[in-house]
């Protein structure tokens, strides 16, 4: 290995196609690998959707060796300490990705005690379903720890570190050229998927609680009554998939809702969609909304999502407290005003969401 090359170890659960993981991969692809390279330490010992891409870029993937202690937290921290002490001369930077202050604090302390020179705790969310009281208890400790604190948005930073904490915003940059709108690509995607003549409502996201798929389906079920040519495209996978499939069948919408699974070509799928529906319960700063806006898509989102995502005038917000009919009316209104679509790549770049800039910024910190 080149002595001048910095090796960064990212600490994640599994490298599937979520927003956080997509962000890391975007950086990995764009960063100068003569200076910086990435390896990954995962808490879940299964193959992730990005694993082949990681090895293709020269990265390594490790899993924690668990099973030493009955208490899960103790077991995980022991395994982490053992791994880092074994590899502390190899990695200059340990980059922790989390949404929970307790996890962030304990993992960072273990890393510092293992001799890692630079420890980063990176917030990617604005809520948690996992022991929220413990999160609040550990936040002051994490705030005062001598580490690097990153967040994808102001709200995400406040969530993990507290309102008065110091942290650095790292924008969830994307490959702007890849997501620039193309009329020819749109025509091809709609032809390949038999979407011609349809109003295509789309959503990209893991099938988990925060993404609010049940609400999406309920809204669509009412909208399709007004617009029989409408179809719903759901891109993503996750633990709620069976529950979602059951709901679709119970509403007899199998012919109207397309489950596309986990896809590596979101830059194509977005081109063929007419409206992006994203009523999440909570988010950090969704990479998929940066991508959708870059392709010129109009996006109807929940008003809990940070206004930092409003990179173009194509964002429309509604409260989840509004009834389904109000959401249907807004979709109808937006669809009725769809005009000639234009790429918004310049606006996204001007807002600072070019992955080249994000990669250069991180490179300086890592190196």
Identify the CATH homologous superfamily for domain 183-350.
Answer: Glycogen Phosphorylase B; (3.40.50.2000)
pTM: 0.93
**In CATH terms, are 6-173+353-366 and 183-350 the same topology?**
yes
Asked if residue 1 has pLDDT above 50, the reply is: no
If phi > 0 it is left, if psi is from -120 to 50 it is alpha, else beta; for residue 232 that is beta
Q: Which residues of 165-183 are buried (b: 16+ CB within 10 A; e: fewer)?
A: bebeebbbbbbbebbbbbe
- Calculate the CA dihedral of residues 171, 176, 179, 180 and round it to 10 degrees: 130
pLDDT at 75: 93
Average pLDDT, the chain: 96
pLDDT per residue over 101-118, tens digit each? 999 999 999 999 999 999
Identify the CATH homologous superfamily for domain 6-173+353-366.
Answer: Glycogen Phosphorylase B; (3.40.50.2000)
Asked if residue 364 has pLDDT above 60, the reply is: yes
pLDDT per residue over 163-214, tens digit each? 999 999 999 999 999 999 999 999 999 999 999 999 999 999 999 999 999 9
pLDDT per residue over 306-359, tens digit each? 999 999 999 999 999 999 999 999 999 999 989 889 999 999 999 999 999 999
Asked if residue 91 has pLDDT above 80, the reply is: yes
Ranges of each domain in the chain: 6-173+353-366, 183-350
Q: Token pair for residue 92?
A: 């200059």
| CB atoms inside a 10 Å sphere around CB 357 | 15
Which of the pair, 167 or 67, is modelled with greater confidence? 167
């Amino acid at each position: 290995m080149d002595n001048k090359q910095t090796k960064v170890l990212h600490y994640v659960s599994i490298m599937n196609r979520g927003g956080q993981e997509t962000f890391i991969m975007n950086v990995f692809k764009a960063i100068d690998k003569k200076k910086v390279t990435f390896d990954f330490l995962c808490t879940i010992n299964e193959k992730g959707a990005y694993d082949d891409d990681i090895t293709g870029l020269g990265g390594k993937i490790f899993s924690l060796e668990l099973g030493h202690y009955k208490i899960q937290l103790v077991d995980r921290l022991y395994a982490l300490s053992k791994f880092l002490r074994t590899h502390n001369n190899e990695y200059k930077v340990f980059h922790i990705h989390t949404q929970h202050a307790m996890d962030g604090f304990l993992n960072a302390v273990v890393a510092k005690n293992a001799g890692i020179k630079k420890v980063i705790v990176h917030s990617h969310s604005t809520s948690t379903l996992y022991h929220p009281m413990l999160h609040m208890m550990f936040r002051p400790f994490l705030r005062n720890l001598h580490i690097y604190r990153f967040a994808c948005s102001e709200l995400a930073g406040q969530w993990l570190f507290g309102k008065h904490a110091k942290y650095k915003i790292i924008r969830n940059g994307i490959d702007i050229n890849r997501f620039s709108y193309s009329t020819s690509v749109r025509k091809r995607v709609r032809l390949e998927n038999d979407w011609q003549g349809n109003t295509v409502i789309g959503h990209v996201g893991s099938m988990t609680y925060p993404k609010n798929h049940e609400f999406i389906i309920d809204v669509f079920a009412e909208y399709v009554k007004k617009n029989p040519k409408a179809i719903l495209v759901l891109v993503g996978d996750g633990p709620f998939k069976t529950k979602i499939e059951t709901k679709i069948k119970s509403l007899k919408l199998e012919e109207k809702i397309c489950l596309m699974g986990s896809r590596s070509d979101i830059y194509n799928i977005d081109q063929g969609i007419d409206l992006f529906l994203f009523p999440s319960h909570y988010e950090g700063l969704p990479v998929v909304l940066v991508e959708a806006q870059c392709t010129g898509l109009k996006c109807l989102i929940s008003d809990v999502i940070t206004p930092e995502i409003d990179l173009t005038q194509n964002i429309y917000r509604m409260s989840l407290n509004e009834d389904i009919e109000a959401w249907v009316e807004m979709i109808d209104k937006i669809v009725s005003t769809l005009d000639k679509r234009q790429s918004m790549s310049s606006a996204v770049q001007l807002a600072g969401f070019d992955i080249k800039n994000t990669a250069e910024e991180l490179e300086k910190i890592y190196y």
